Amino acid sequence: MTAVYIHIPFCKQKCKYCDFNSYAGLNSLYGTYVDALVGEITSQAPLLHVKDVESIYVGGGTPTLLGQPYIGRVLSAVREHFSVVDDAEVSIEANPETVTGGKLALLREVGVNRLSIGFQSLDDDLLGLLGRKHSAKQAIGAFRAARDAGFENISIDLIFGIPGQSLANWAITLEQAVSLEPEHISCYGLTIEPGTPLEREIAAGKLQVPDEDLQADMFIYTMESLGESGFEHYEISNYAKPGRRCRHNLVYWEDGDYIGFGAGAHSKIGNKRFCNITKPGDYIKTAGTDARISEVTELSADDIVSEAIFLGLRTMDGIKMDDFQARFGRPLYNIYGPQIDKLLEEGLLEQTDSSLRLSQKGILLGNEVFSRFI
Ligand code: SF4
């Protein structure tokens, strides 16, 4: 499986919690950035020898700030220079305030078949606290407009653990999101990133994050409530209706190859990883050349094993023992027996006949579990 990722690093304004590679106020670069993307795709594709591309994901930033002509150009370049399978998943991330029915219909016309809408919350006060530029009403309106435009595969992104958020408030947001009948929901616990305005407000005592117990209660509530609503919990933060798992993310979690184009985009081909320079202006100047690459890493044999464990445990199916042995030539237990025994004893992992996976307690303490395999 191979996936192509396209990074659009532009946003209307920075959200207060965001440390992604995204920038506000660079509208004047949209055209030259898209030229650079097309240049990178055109020059690199012949060198990569990639077979079938099953997924194209346009993420950001806020890709829907760019209209269909720009997105259409980039998608055409991918289709022209790679062998994209007929039923490929073609996703784009959208922010509610940047889409209209007309814009969404045009995106459908250029082959986008999956939309991931950043709701984050359906409480206007919390949206304001996060620095989001849309209201709950706009988020719901964007979802309905997407359905009207013919999108049959829509994901909603939500955040829990926001300062001031109660379990009841989270439950209402979740219930309202479910009532829209999306095919997929991603629920992330809020991470307070260093250097963000939100971190400064918390450090100054103006805001308080929910304590660990409340955050755990929100996570457990999410798993139970979405399970009861017919969603499969298939990765720590991701829930899908049957048959609607995000194919793009499965490529990452199942250790497939991915090629990233754009500023700060990451790629992994076999054991090699590389990353483009992050600043859009620098990327534009170097996109067609090797100078665009800021970092290349060759994974060691140990790195590859650790990564397979880390990625496998993120999925609720866990690590398939037979697959692991077939890939690495020895049973997982021979490499990490003591660690596995300890984690089983602590109730953080559970073992089935064929797989090893996180327990519910382990899902809540995922980073602790992963750290034992480094
Ligand atoms: S829209 Fe997304 S990428 Fe842009 S600033 Fe907000 S969180 Fe960051």
Q: Give me the domains of the chain, ranges plus CATH numbers.
A: 2-253 (3.20.20.70), 301-371 (1.10.10.920)
Bridge-based pairing of strands 2-8 and 257-261 is: parallel
Over range 236-259, report the average pLDDT. Answer: 94
Enter the tokens of residue 356.
């090893």
Give the span between the Cα atoms of 133 and 12, in whole angstroms. 8
Give the span between the Cα atoms of 222 and 233, in whole angstroms. 10
Query: What is the percent of the chain with per-residue pLDDT over 70, rounded to a whole number?
Result: 100
Give the span between the Cα atoms of 302 and 39, in whole angstroms. 36
| Cα-based distances in Å from 181 to 46, 122, 127, 147, 153 | 41, 15, 22, 10, 10
pLDDT computed for residue 66 by the predictor: 93
pLDDT single digits (tens) 319-372: 999 999 999 999 999 999 999 999 999 999 999 989 999 999 999 999 899 988
Which among 4-8, 308-312, 351-355 has the top mean pLDDT? 4-8
pLDDT computed for residue 274 by the predictor: 94
pLDDT of 159 strictly over 90: yes
Which atom in ligand 1 lies closest to the alpha carbon of residue 60? 3
Task: Look at 48-52, 83-87, 217-221 and tell me which has the smallest mean pLDDT.
Answer: 48-52
What is the CB-side half-sphere exposure of residue 31 using CA atoms within 13 A? 1
Enter the tokens of residue 237.
């933060």
Q: Which residue has the least CA distance to atom 6 on ligand 1? A: 15
- CA of 77 from ligand 1 middle (Å) equals 26
Give the span between the Cα atoms of 52 and 95, in whole angstroms. 30
Q: Give ligand 1 pocket residues (Cβ under 6 A).
A: 11, 14-15, 18, 20, 22, 60-62, 95
pLDDT single digits (tens) 289-298: 899 999 999 9
pLDDT computed for residue 374 by the predictor: 76
Q: Which residue has the least CA distance to atom 8 on ligand 1? A: 18
Task: Look at 2-6, 41-45, 108-112, 301-305 and tell me which has the smallest mean pLDDT.
Answer: 301-305
pLDDT single digits (tens) 270-294: 899 999 999 999 999 999 889 999 9
- CA of 15 from ligand 1 middle (Å) equals 5
Q: How confident is the model at residue 68 (pLDDT cuts 50, 70, 90)?
A: confident
The torsion angles phi and psi of 204, rounded to 5 degrees, stand at: -80, 0
- CA of 357 from ligand 1 middle (Å) equals 32
- CA of 251 from ligand 1 middle (Å) equals 23
pLDDT computed for residue 288 by the predictor: 84
Q: How confident is the model at residue 150 (pLDDT cuts 50, 70, 90)?
A: very high
Give the span between the Cα atoms of 141 and 95, in whole angstroms. 11
CA 82 remoteness from chain centre: 23
Of 21, 16, 29, whose CA–CA distance to 133 is shortest? 16
CA 337 remoteness from chain centre: 31
pLDDT single digits (tens) 196-217: 999 999 999 999 999 999 999 9
- CA of 124 from ligand 1 middle (Å) equals 17
Sequence letter at residue 229: S
Q: How confident is the model at residue 120 (pLDDT cuts 50, 70, 90)?
A: very high
Write b or e for each residue in 157-169: b if 16 or more Cβ atoms lie within 10 A of its Cβ, otherwise e.
bbbbbbbebeeeb
pLDDT single digits (tens) 165-174: 999 999 999 9
Of 71, 58, 134, 141, whose CA–CA distance to 106 is shortest? 71
pLDDT computed for residue 373 by the predictor: 85
pTM of the shown model:
0.95
pLDDT computed for residue 67 by the predictor: 82
pLDDT computed for residue 255 by the predictor: 83
Q: Which of 8, 10, 14 to mutate to test the pocket of ligand 1 (most atoms within 8 A of CB)?
A: 14
Q: Which residue has the least CA distance to atom 3 on ligand 1? A: 61
Average predicted confidence (pLDDT) for the chain: 95
Q: Which residue has the least CA distance to atom 2 on ligand 1? A: 61
pLDDT computed for residue 1 by the predictor: 79
pLDDT of 65 strictly over 80: yes
- CA of 46 from ligand 1 middle (Å) equals 33
